[in-house]
Amino acid sequence: MGIILLVVIVTVMFNPVGLPISVSQQTQDFYNRLIKLKEGETVLWGFEGAVIGAYTEKKTAMRAVAQTIAKQKANIVWVSFYPHNPGQLLAFIEYSGLTKPPFNYKYGENIVIMPFLPGEETAMAAIAAGLKATFSTDVKGISIGDIPLLKKVDKITDFNLVLIQFGIFTYAEMFMRQWPAKYGIQVISMCTYSVVAAYYGTYVIGDLDLVRGNAEFEKLTGILGEDIVYMDIRNINCGITLALIAFGNIALYWSKVKKVPAEAKK
Amino acid sequence: MSTGISRRVYQRLIPLFIVSVFAGISLIVYFVTPSAASKAVSGEILQWGVVLSTVTMIYASITIMVMHTRRLAERKETTRMLFNSSVMVGSFVMVMAIGLFAPGGLTSELLEAVTTYIFGYIYAGILTDWAYHPYTSYRRFRLISAESTVMFITFLFTVLRNMTAVVVAVPGIAVIGDWIAAVPAMATMRAALAAAGIGQLVLGIRALAQREPGLIELEMK
């Protein structure tokens, strides 16, 4: 069965079927919040990418989000919680096309990446309390005082929108404690919906539920990427899996039914 | 007769006491009305928390490397374990060398290339084991008990919720799937978190009162 699924994955990867994608309320809310951004406003993007390869998987959706923010002419400050994340974000700036036409964003004026800060929840608390007290330079080694964008923002309440992106489930509670609950703000998230579901509507006002949410967002914005293909693969593979579970259970009960008369004859 | 401080004291009791003091202060500060004094205290604790986290990461990295290096030097383990350790040590040395000597350090193009084209693709290869996960679901979801049936029903609606093609055809699936995520799943997670939180508090107090056996006791035997 694993081979069947693998063959299906590879086939669909190179020949996307284009199955329909509905847009969930959470993805719509996420998008609606982004397009409310005004020119000159600043987004704090908290990025947790513990698994190195996860960035490769998520970068097309991140590009769609970043370009949507850029269309609103808003700025972005990234903070991250794993050592390899700042390097990935530097590469992401190039990949996202923010520094090229039509956006022509300038590093330091429109986008800034802060260095990795260890401590997980402690780091979140420190960041929220103030970037200037927590960092002395950005990831490129430029002094905080010399970065134009950071002259306008310091504490988390100075930002117009906070976006949290994570894969490790325990980060949900940490973010909620240190950012929305502590400072009375609302955030949008890129994570599994089930871990922020209890806060949805209060602390969280939009969510991209991993592959599904990313695919929905790409479809909604028209900034297409690999998540549309992943969604095709998921639709087909999940269908095969459910069908095989049903088939397996039918076969299990059929074999039990056949056994009973055989034992009764004895 | 040994006159030095007991290992239990400096490896366990003192660090526990320090952490307990900081945890206690953080707890109190969390519940009182913020004031200039409480903000100053919590700010200072936060800074030290970041410092200690960094030190802990460095200590953990060194400990792991010492363990793997010792294993390679002693050569008492199986070939597979030795291979694993050599990959671990080799990767560590390579990334350290790039981080220390390549222009740009942690943000160097070389490290980015290693991260993307080696680690990233290894990760992608590991992800293909997800082709096996549906197979384990197929093996495990035999509806032979009430528990397995309930689990399967939850699994069914959660999976259907994440199949956008199905949601387009039957929009009600989204309502059911979102309810499962928002209510029973979250209730279970909260219960587990609350139990873990209270358990940690009790464990910490017992350890401070020296009523909790730990690794040090096992090592000292």
Which position has the higher pLDDT, B203 or A74?
Answer: A74
Among the residue ranges A13-17, A257-261, B154-158, B188-192, the one predicted with the least confidence is: A257-261
Which residues of chain B neighbour A51 with C-beta distances below 8 Å? 123
Q: Is 70 exceeded by the pLDDT of residue B213?
A: no
Of A117, A133, A194, the CB nearest to B181: A194
Q: How far is B189 from chain A (nearest CA, A)?
A: 8
Report pLDDT for B208.
73
3-state secondary structure of A99: coil
Which residues of chain A neighbour B29 with C-beta distances below 8 Å? none
Across the range B92-119, mean pLDDT stands at 79
Among the residue ranges B134-138, B172-176, B206-210, the one predicted with the least confidence is: B134-138
Q: Is B193 on the interface with A (CB under 8 A)?
A: yes
Q: How far is B39 from chain A (nearest CA, A)?
A: 10
- A88–B112 CB contact, under 8 Å: yes
Q: Is B28 on the interface with A (CB under 8 A)?
A: no
Return the structure tokens found at B88: 């671990």
- A198–B182 CB contact, under 8 Å: yes
Which position has the higher pLDDT, B71 or B33?
Answer: B71
User: What ipTM does the predicted assembly reach?
Assistant: 0.78
The alpha-carbon radius of gyration of chain A (Å, integer) is 22
Which residues of chain B neighbour A240 with C-beta distances below 8 Å? 134
User: What is the phi/psi pair of residue A50, to 5°?
Assistant: -60, -45
Q: How far is B183 from chain A (nearest CA, A)?
A: 7
- B50–A240 CB contact, under 8 Å: no
Which residues of chain B neighbour A237 with C-beta distances below 8 Å? 134
Which residues of chain A neighbour B23 with C-beta distances below 8 Å? none
User: Which chain B residue has its CA at the smallest distance from A200's CA?
Assistant: B182
Return the structure tokens found at A153: 């923002």
Global pTM? 0.80
**Interface probe with B: pick from A120, A202, A242, most Cβ of B within 10 Å:** A242
Ordered mean pLDDT values, 10 residues apiece, chain A (266 residues): 73 78 93 96 93 82 96 96 88 93 95 91 90 92 94 95 93 92 94 90 94 93 88 85 85 77 56
Q: Is 50 exceeded by the pLDDT of residue B1?
A: no
Q: Is B152 on the interface with A (CB under 8 A)?
A: yes
| A102 prior amide bond cis, ω within 30 | yes
Q: How far is CA A170 from CA A48, A58, A133, A196, A211, in A?
A: 11, 19, 26, 11, 19
Strands lying side by side in the sheet with A161-165: A111-116, A75-80, A42-47, A161-165, A187-190, A204-208
- B131–A9 CB contact, under 8 Å: yes
The answer to whether B89 and B72 are in contact (CB under 8 A) is yes
Across the range B169-184, mean pLDDT stands at 89
Q: A23 CB contacts (<8 Å, ≥6 apart)?
A: A216, A219, A220
Report pLDDT for B4.
63
Report pLDDT for B170.
92
Which position has the higher pLDDT, B13 or A195?
Answer: A195
Q: Which amino acid is at A53?
A: G
Q: Is 60 exceeded by the pLDDT of residue B88?
A: yes
Q: Is B181 on the interface with A (CB under 8 A)?
A: yes
Q: Is A118 on the interface with B (CB under 8 A)?
A: yes
User: Which chain A residue has its CA at the smallest distance from B181's CA?
Assistant: A194
Domain coordinates in residue numbering, chain A: 24-227
Report pLDDT for A120.
87
Report pLDDT for A250.
86
CA gap A145, A73 in Å, rounded = 23
Q: Which CATH architecture has domain A24-227?
A: 3-Layer(aba) Sandwich (3.40)
Q: Is A201 on the interface with B (CB under 8 A)?
A: no
- B138–A9 CB contact, under 8 Å: no
Q: How far is B61 from chain A (nearest CA, A)?
A: 13
